[in-house]
Chain A
Amino acid sequence: MSDLLYSEIENDLRSGVREVLGDKAPWTDVLAGTEKDEPYDAALWDAVAARLGCAGLPVPEELGGAGATWRETAVVMEELGRAVAPVPFLTSSVLATAALLAAGERELLAELASGNRVAVLAVPFGTAPGAAAPTVRAEDGRLTGEVRSVADGAAADVLLVPAGGGLYAVDAADAARTPVTSLDMTRRLSDIAFAGAPAWPIAEGDGPVGAALTAGAAMLASEQLGLAEQCLATTVEYLKTRYQFGRPVGSYQGLKHRLADLWTSITQARAVARHAASCLAANDPDLPVAVAVAQAHCSAVAVRAAEECVQMHGGIGFTWEHPAHLYLKRAKSASIALGTPDRHRAALAAIVDLPPPDPA
C-alpha cells in the first residue's frame, strides 16, 4: 500500500511554496492578471519554477532536475491550486516534462527543469489519457494542421506536437497561436495552427503522449484538492463572521451540514490524490486505476467546493471583486481538463472489468 501521508520534506516544500505564493500571488493580483494581455505571471513563474526549483522536481539530478519525485510535485500542485496561480506548471513541469522523460529526451528536458523555458503539449486540454487523436500531419520534418484549446499555448516557448504517429517539437514562434477567451482566465487556452512549421522529432509512437496525459491527470487531482481546501476554508471563515437574523449564518444547520459533507469528501480527496501521486512516483501497476479514481473523485469535489463557496457567500460571492469566481472557473475547467469524471469512470469500468451493458 502506498504511503498516503506527507513527509517532513514535503511539508517543508509546502511551506516554502506557500510563502512565495502568499507574497507574489495574492488573489487581488491574480484577479488583476486576468484582465492583462500577458498569458501568465512571468515573475511568479520565475520565483516558483526557477528560484524555488519546483519545475524540475521529478527530473533526476543528472538530467538537470531536483531528483525528487511526483509526490513532491503533487504538493506543489496543491499549493498552486490553493492560490489559483496563473503559471504554466501543470502544462510544462508536469505534462511536457513527463512526455520528455518518457521519450528519453535530455536537452529540452534540462531547460524545462531549470525553469528557463516553457514547453506545452499541443493537445486539446480536454483530452483524457488514452484518447489523444492527433490532427496534425508530418511531412519532411514539417508540420501542418490545427489544434484547438491548448492550455498555456501562449505561454510556450516550445510546442510538443503529436503528429504522424510520433511526437515532434516546434519552436512556438513558428506556429500561429490565437488566444482564446477562456472560462478559466488563470490558465488560458490558445488555438494553434501549423503551416509547414519546421519540427524536430522527439519520439516514435504514442507512448510519451500517453505518459504525459496520465501524469497530468494524476497531478491535477492534487491541484483540485488544494483548490477545494481553500474554498472550504474561505467559506468557513466567512460563515463565522457574517450575521443574519441575529446569528452567525454558520450556526444554521442547512449550511453546517453541507460543509460537514464537503469536509468529508475532501478527506477522501486527500487520500485518493496522495495514492495517485504515489503510484505515479513509483510507476505502480495500480496507476491507471488510481488516476481514474482520483480524477473522477477530485474533479467533482473541487467543483462542489467552489460552487458551495459562491452560494454560501451570497451576493458578494457572485461579484467580480471577490475571489470565489476565480476558483469556480478553475474548478469547472479542471473537471473537463484531461477527461471529465464520466470519461474516467468509463475508463475505470474497462480496467476493473465492470463493462457497460451490450447495446441492444
Chain B
Amino acid sequence: MTTAPPDADELRRRVGEFLAAHDPAATGRTEFLHARFDAGLAWVHYPEGLGGLGAPRALQREVDALFAEAGAPSNHPERNAIGLGMAAPTILAFGTAEQKERFLRPLWCGEEIWCQLFSEPGAGSDLAALGTRAVPDGDGWTVNGQKVWTSMAHEARWAILVTRTDPAVPKHRGMTYFVCDMTAPGVEVRPLRQITGEAEFNEVFLTDVRIPDEHRLGGVGDGWRVATTTLMNERVAIGGAAAPRESGMIGVVAGLWRDRPEVRSPGHHDTLMRLWVESEAARLTGERLRQQLTAGEPGPEGSAAKLAFAKLNQEISGLELELLGDDGLRYDDWTMRRPSEVDFTRRSPGYRYLRAKGNSIEGGTSEILRNIVAERVLGLPGEIRVDKDVPWKDLPK
C-alpha cells in the first residue's frame, strides 16, 4: 500500500506538530537537527526514513521558512555545499541501503562536512582523463594519486572520490567512484593559496590509502556515470527563497553610487545601468527557473544562469574597484588563512573582484558550459574527439 506524498497543508501541519514537541529554545542543536531529520522534515523530497517524506521538492522553501521563523537551529548549508549539493544526491541515487543509512543523517545535520576529490593536475575540464589509481586489495582497494583544487578538504570528514581502476580501456570506461575517509592513513591535505591570499582549496595526496569495498558507490568501472550524476546536481539551481531586487553584488555597487556622489562619472553611469539591467534580467530568469521547477517542468536554463552569474559578478566587482578610485588601490588583508565558508559581502571590494574570477572556473568553466549549451541544448555537432576510443594508458599526457 502506498500513501500519497504530503502536500503543502500536510507539511505545515507536520512542522507545527514537530515544533510543538521540540521547542527550539529548549532543545539542543544536535538533538533538534537529528529529530528534524528523523521526522522527515530535513529535505522533504528525500524518501521516508532518509530525512524526507517523498514530497515535491518545491515545498522545501516553505518548510525551511517555517523553521527559520520559529528560531530553529540551522544546519548551516553554506558550510557543507558539496555535501548537500553533490555528495547527498549521488549517495541517494547510487548508494546501498547501508551507505544511505550511515552517511545522509550526519551530512544533512552538518556534523560531517564533505569535499570533492575530482580534479587532478592533469585532469580538470577533461575530468575523465584522471589518473588516481585504485587497485583491488583483499576485501577493499588501495588508492594512490594526487587531487587538486579541493575546496574545504581541510574541514572535511568525508570525500567523494573518482579513481581509475582499469587503464587499459578508453578513459570513460575504466573509472570507479568511492567515498573516502579523510582521516584515513595516507590522506594528506596541503593548503593551496589562492589569488585572494587565503586558501579555500587544497592539494590532497593519497598514498596507499585503504578504502573498504563497502565504500564504493556504484559498480566497478561505472564511475563516470556516477560522477555525471554528481556534476548534474552541481549545476541544478537549488531553489531557495526568491531573491529580492538589488540582492547580491549589484546591490553593493548601487549602494556605493547612492551614498557617495563623488564617485559618479558619465561613463560609469552607463556601465552601472547596463549591469543593473542585466542583474535584474538574471534575477527574473532565476525566478522563472524556480517557477518552472515548482510547476514540475525543469528546463535547461540552469546552465544559462551559471554563465550569466559568473560574468555579472566579474563585471560588477570590476566596476566597484574603478568607482572607488584611490580606495580601490587598497586591499583588506593578504594573510594566509583557511576559511570555512565563502562570503562575498563581508570582505573588501578587492577581495570581491579577485574571488569572482573563480566563478567562471569552479564547477565547470564558462567555456565548458558554452560547449554544453551548444551541444545539449541547441543540438549543435560535438567537438572532434581524438581521445574517444584510445585506451587511457595510451593517451598523450
Binds B, one of A60-68, A76-84, A167-175, A268-276: A268-276
Number of A-B contacts (CB under 8 A): 134
Determine if B395 is an interface residue (Cβ-Cβ < 8 Å). no
* A89-97, A141-149, A248-256: which lies at the interface: A248-256
Flag if A356 contacts B264 (CB, 8 Å). Answer: yes
Give the shortest distance, in Å, between B98 (CB) and chain A (any CB): 42
Chain A residue with minimal CB distance to B254?
Answer: A354
Bound Cα distance from A85 to B264, whole angstroms: 44
Number of interface residues of B (CB under 8 A): 46
Question: Across the interface, do B304 and A247 meet the contact criterion of CB distance under 8 Å?
Answer: no
Check A263/B273 contact, CB under 8 A, given A253-B371, A293-B280, A356-B266.
Answer: no
Tell me whether B374 and A259 are in contact (CB under 8 A): yes
| Any A CB within 8 A of the CB of B393 | no
Interface size class of A (residues with CB under 8 A): 35 or more
> Do A272 and B281 have beta carbons less than 8 Å apart?
yes
Assess whether B326 is interfacial by the CB under 8 Å rule: no
Residue of B nearest to A264 (CB): B304
State how many angstroms separate the Cβ of B290 from the closest Cβ of chain A. Answer: 9
Whether A261 is near chain B, meaning CB under 8 Å from some CB there, is yes
Interface check A297, CB cutoff 8 A:
yes
Across the interface, B380 reaches (CB within 8 A) one of A256, A275, A293, A345, namely: A256
The digit string for B267-301, where 1 denotes a CB below 8 A from any CB of A, is 00110111011101110110110011001010001
* Given the contacts A5-B292, A263-B304, A348-B273, A251 and B264 also touching, CB distance less than 8 Å: no
Majority SS of interface residues in chain A? helix
What chain B residues lie within 8 Å of A285 (beta carbons)? none
Determine whether A43 belongs to the interface, using a CB cutoff of 8 Å to chain B: no
Q: Is the interface of B mostly helix, strand, loop or mixed?
A: helix
A51 to B184, CA, bound (A): 75
Contact check, B381 vs A251: say whether CB atoms are below 8 A apart.
yes
Given contacts A257-B367, A348-B273, A358-B261, contact A270 B380 (CB under 8 A): no
Residue contact B265 to A264, C-beta cutoff 8 Å: no
0 or 1 for each of B227-271: is its CB under 8 Å from A? (1 = yes): 000000000000000100000000000100110010011100110
Contacts of A354 in B (CB 8 A): 254, 257-258, 269, 272-273, 276
> Are B274 and A259 in contact (CB-based, < 8 A)?
no
What is the 8 Å Cβ interface bit string for chain B, positions 350-371, against chain A (1 contact, 0 not)?
Answer: 0000000000000000010111
How far is the CB of A292 from the nearest CB of chain B, in Å? 8
Residue B195 interfacial (CB < 8 Å): no
Given contacts A251-B382, A357-B261, contact A263 B276 (CB under 8 A): no
Q: Note all chain A residues with C-beta closer than 8 A to B8.
A: none
Are B381 and A293 touching (Cβ within 8 A)? Answer: no
CA distance A348 to B254 in the complex (A): 13
Contact partner, A264, options B284, B308, B367, B381, Cβ 8 Å: B308
What per-residue 1/0 map shows which CB atoms of A1-16 lie under 8 Å from chain B?
1011100000000000
Q: Is A268 touching B308 in the complex (CB atoms < 8 A)?
A: yes
The answer on a CB contact under 8 Å between B284 and A268 is: yes
Bound Cα distance from A356 to B308, whole angstroms: 26
A195: Cβ under 8 A from any B Cβ: no
Alpha-carbon separation in the docked complex, A261 to B373 (Å): 9
- Bound together, the chains give a CA A270 to CA B281 distance in angstroms of 9
Q: Given the complex, which residues of B lie within 8 Å of A345, measured CB to CB?
A: 270, 273-274, 277
Q: Cα distance A4–B289 when bound, in Å?
A: 9
Question: Are A268 and B258 in touch, CB under 8 angstroms?
Answer: no
B284 and A271 contacting across the interface, CB-CB below 8 Å: yes
Check if A21 is an interface residue, CB within 8 A of chain B: no
Q: Which of A250, A263, A271 contacts B381 (CB 8 A)?
A: A250
Q: List 25 A–B pairs whose Cβ atoms lie within 8 Å, in order of A's numbering.
A: A3-B291, A5-B288, A5-B292, A251-B380, A251-B382, A253-B367, A256-B378, A259-B378, A259-B380, A260-B307, A263-B377, A267-B285, A267-B301, A268-B278, A268-B282, A268-B308, A270-B285, A271-B287, A272-B280, A296-B274, A348-B277, A349-B273, A352-B276, A354-B269, A354-B272
Interface residue ranges, A against B (CB under 8 Å)? 1, 3-5, 232, 236, 239-240, 247-248, 250-251, 253, 256-257, 259-261, 263-264, 267-272, 274-275, 289, 293, 296-297, 342, 345-346, 348-349, 352-358
Besides A357-B264, A358-B261, 10 more A-B contacts (Cβ < 8 Å) are A4-B287, A251-B384, A259-B380, A272-B284, A345-B274, A348-B277, A349-B273, A352-B276, A354-B273, A357-B269
Closest 4 CB pairs of A and B: A256-B374, A357-B264, A260-B373, A260-B370
